Amino acid sequence: MANVGYIGLGMMGSNMVGRLLEKGHTVTGYNRTRSKAEALVARGMRLADSPRALAQSVDVIFSMVTNASALESLANGPDGFLAGLGPGKILIDMTTGSPAKCRELAARVREKGADMADAPVSGSPGMVQQGKISIMVGGHRETFERLKPLLEDLAVKVTWVGEISLAVSMKIAMNLSVAVQMIAFSEGVLLAEKSGIARETAVDVLMHSAIGSPMLQYRGPFVLNMPAEAWFDVEMMQKDLLLALEMGRNLEVPLPTTSVANEYMTASRALGLAKKDFAAVFLALARMAAVGK
């Protein structure tokens, strides 16, 4: 069993820690808001006083935070996790941020004699609990092989996609499709509803049709009842869409549907939905279509 640390105990991170504990690993956690860690401490997780203390006490460090800026703030300074790294340790960063920032961080990690892999996740909190997520991994192949058994305790599929930052590039490429799918699904539901079909019926038919992707299977019902706590909010999704648009510009790949999806995230924020799950784009479209909740 591994001696691991986990930085970032949000909805996804806390479920990942829960899964690691169930698999028998020793887990030390760190979160800026300590109250979010209480339930995990009760389940056996140790709590570190700082990212540095966490990194010093474990062999493998997971990090999953909001964005690259949040990750930098946890990495730097006398109490940052970089200060606690040394030879033989591995950082597994699951944050979806800029590929360039990922490469910069990896270089600094390697200067410490440690190594880093980027390993973003595809799936929902419920899928984490069931071990049904997939994980993409970027980094040295030998590091991937060392980490694979640990990652397979979390995921049904673990795929090495290439060198450092390519996994986060893959995640960005994936998430633009998630946003576009949700918007198209919302348009279909609203078109059916305004023609006289009950919303519940439209959702059921669409989810069990050829368009019923795994993502729509768990997020489609949100157009009937939005979750009280966002799984992945509008601001987070727009962050990923902007990363995709930046990549598209740099790589000269046109992303027309991503551009449209980004504008709908802006509209959703303007309507006060920024902290709602990004499925709330349905509510923005419903308002435009004059369809009541």
Convert the chain into a string of H (helix), E (strand) and C (coil). Answer: CCEEEEECCCHHHHHHHHHHHHCCCEEEEECCCHHHHHHHHHCCCEECCCHHHHHHHCCEEEECCCCHHHHHHHHCCCCCHHHHCCCCCEEEECCCCCHHHHHHHHHHHHHCCCEEEECCEECCHHHHHHCCEEEEEECCHHHHHHHHHHHHCCEEEEEEEECCCHHHHHHHHHHHHHHHHHHHHHHHHHHHHHCCCCHHHHHHHHHCCCCCCHHHHHHHHHHCCCCCCCCCEHHHHHHHHHHHHHHHHHHCCCCHHHHHHHHHHHHHHHCCCCCCEHHHHHHHHHHHCCCCC
Q: For residue 97, what are the β-bridge partners?
A: none
Query: Is 36's pLDDT higher than 90?
Result: no
> What is the structure's pLDDT at 126?
85
Closest CA to 129 of 4, 239, 15, 288: 15
- Indicate whether 189 and 145 sit together in one domain: no
- How far is residue 265's CA from residue 109's CA, in Å, rounded to a whole number? 34
pLDDT at 33: 83
Share of the chain above pLDDT 70, in %: 100
Mean pLDDT of 187-208: 96
Boundary residue ending a domain (163, 188, 203): 163
User: Do 173 and 107 fall within a single domain?
Assistant: no
Domain end: 163, 182, 217, which one? 163
Report the amino acid identity of residue 267. Answer: A
Nearest to 8, CA basis, from 111, 59, 81: 81
When pLDDT is cut at 50, 70 and 90, the band that residue 20 belongs to is: very high
Determine, yes or no, domain membership for 193. yes
Measure the N-to-C terminal CA separation of the chain; round to a whole number of Å: 49
Q: Given a cut of 80, is residue 1 above it in pLDDT?
A: no
**CATH number (domain holding residue 150):** 3.40.50.720
Residue 269 and residue 155 share a domain:
no
Average pLDDT of span 77-97 = 95
* 26 and 81 part of one domain: yes
If you average pLDDT over residues 211-230, what whole number do you get?
A: 91
- Residue 293 falls inside a structural domain: no
Q: Does 260 score more than 90 pLDDT?
A: yes
Do both 213 and 251 map to the same domain?
yes
Domain termination site, one of 163, 198, 219: 163
7 and 152 part of one domain: yes
Would you place residue 44 in the very low, low, confident or very high pLDDT band (cuts 50, 70, 90)?
very high
pLDDT at 233 over 90: yes
Are residue 254 and residue 135 in the same domain, yes or no? Answer: no
pLDDT mean over 16-43: 92
Residue 260 belongs to domain with CATH number: 1.10.1040.10
Tell whether 121 is covered by a domain: yes
| pLDDT for residue 73 | 93
pLDDT of amino acid 199: 96
CB 24 within 8 A of CB 158: no
pLDDT tens digits, 147-194:
999 999 999 999 999 999 999 999 999 999 999 999 999 999 999 999
| Pairing of the two strands 115-118 and 121-122 | unpaired
Domain holding 177, by residue range, is 169-288
> Mean pLDDT over all residues of the chain?
94
Domains held by the chain: number: 2
Residues 91 and 181 in one domain: no
Same domain for 218 and 138, yes or no, is no
Q: Let me know whether 16 and 146 are in one domain.
A: yes
Give the pLDDT of residue 293. Answer: 59
